Structure 1
């Protein structure tokens, strides 16, 4: 009986000739970049200084309630606490998805040529993600928040996705999660209203994830070369569904109660918040352009992205 690893290996279209050389060159460049510019969060982040509650946990404009009537009723201290809880939720969701990412990458490169620069880059990426997850976990604790988790059905769907997804579907889903985080974290890391240690965490993640996104884009391009219409439709649907559950899980409904707010009212106003929907759409403009160029933006996929406010 063929294993899932065997299936993933068959599904991958290995680049040949000029394509193979270009693919290897991308991996080599990323390895060199990692050697020159990587961080150790254990030493780069100020973990010792106590949390200053005069700072936000994220740029207020990215808060799910920003621009609503409820937001205007909150005191500055309540607004700061809410952004800290939401930042902790985003970090917690990041850990959850990075665990999925690591398993998919390991499965993809199982029993492949270890001298291949792409193989070595894959291990480098996994090492980065391990450090990021520990960094996020320590960040959640320092924010004075508890770890948030996606809803149970989303956790179980993630369990199935990491076991079954392969090829371009896996790498494009990785790209979706990282692209959305990248845009918001670029705002947070430059914002002096945000706690300094959170800004450092965001800076580390942005720098190192830029390499991961470069590799994911390259993998998607290579694997989609010559793909037929049926494969494109299936992949586009799977990727869009994964994107929907990732993005809608970033901020848990539980953050509102943790921040001392009326949970039911906060959830209602957040879901109707056109400002936050606009922020999400703007963060995904480049991603949607890339998916379209790769043939992964079919009408059913577009409908899912619109439902998640990514398009």
Structure 2
């Protein structure tokens, strides 16, 4: 017999899904038409806000020429985009697996397919954007790729949706800065604007799914999934800035990696970007003492 709380949760979920579907119908973009793919890359622009560079604020940054700084931010933007593609492919498979053989008349089912369609377009957009930035294919380390393969095949419930939320929240804060920054090349600003608008709906869905899946969850389940989400967050954030961006920007890779690792400014930027996320995880009971170790290692808290 279905309890009152379960019926109410189902109604809330349906209402949220319908609202997101309506929003998607009213405000969605076609990157093929919206992004200026034809104009050649103008190297007088950055690829991302300089303040988000892993070297910004270091002695190496001060030693670099403006041209080197701009090239580095372009390579770093391409690296972040490539990591986004990797995780969006994981996300799509987790959602498909979650909604496999469920009721197709359910608005949540229809929203799940809408989100997958969005992510497919985003991945193509990111791929074309990285190519236009004249960057190679930045991929996570082999171990991370294989760990992602296991995660996408096994993560369920709140572990899957909270991990999705982490990746989307970190990207969202960065891209809100980039899309408003006139120092950033215009086509990248357009890409960021599209992603921010459409991902806001995805984040709403991920929050609602996380809350719903946690209803009635016991202490052990919360502890285990809090740790899974924290480890996933550590891996995702650690993969955003590929170590090869420095050589590809014409820099001394060894010095760059050493100074980037110790860069307190960049760590501070990451922490500030995740304040809202950490509040949500805390309210959901997913910010436990063991999980804090991974968030601190990832400079998210």
Instruction: State how 1:1-311 maps to structure 2 within 5 Å.
Output: 16-311=6-301
Distance in 2 separating the partners of 1:35 and 1:51: 32
In the alignment, structure 1 segments of 5+ residues that lack a partner are 1-12
In the alignment, structure 2 segments of 5+ residues that lack a partner are none
CA deviation after TM superposition for structure 1 residue 50, in Å: 0.3
Q: Could you tell me the TM-score, scaled by structure 1's length?
A: 0.95
Distance in 1 separating the partners of 2:73 and 2:127: 17
Distance in 2 separating the partners of 1:253 and 1:266: 9
CA deviation after TM superposition for structure 1 residue 230, in Å: 0.2
Q: Secondary structure at the match of 1:23?
A: helix
CA deviation after TM superposition for structure 1 residue 167, in Å: 0.6
Q: After superposition, what is the alpha-carbon deviation per residue over 1:102-126, rounded to whole angstroms, capped at 9, x for unaligned?
A: 0000000000000000000000000
Distance in 2 separating the partners of 1:113 and 1:63: 45
Distance in 2 separating the partners of 1:97 and 1:148: 13
Distance in 1 separating the partners of 2:128 and 2:8: 44
CA deviation after TM superposition for structure 1 residue 19, in Å: 1.4
- Residue correspondences, number: 299
Q: Which runs of 4+ in 1 moved over 4 A?
A: none
CA deviation after TM superposition for structure 1 residue 225, in Å: 1.0
Q: Secondary structure at the match of 1:108?
A: helix
Which residue matches 1:5? none
Q: Secondary structure at the match of 1:199?
A: helix
Q: Could you tell me the TM-score, scaled by structure 2's length?
A: 0.98
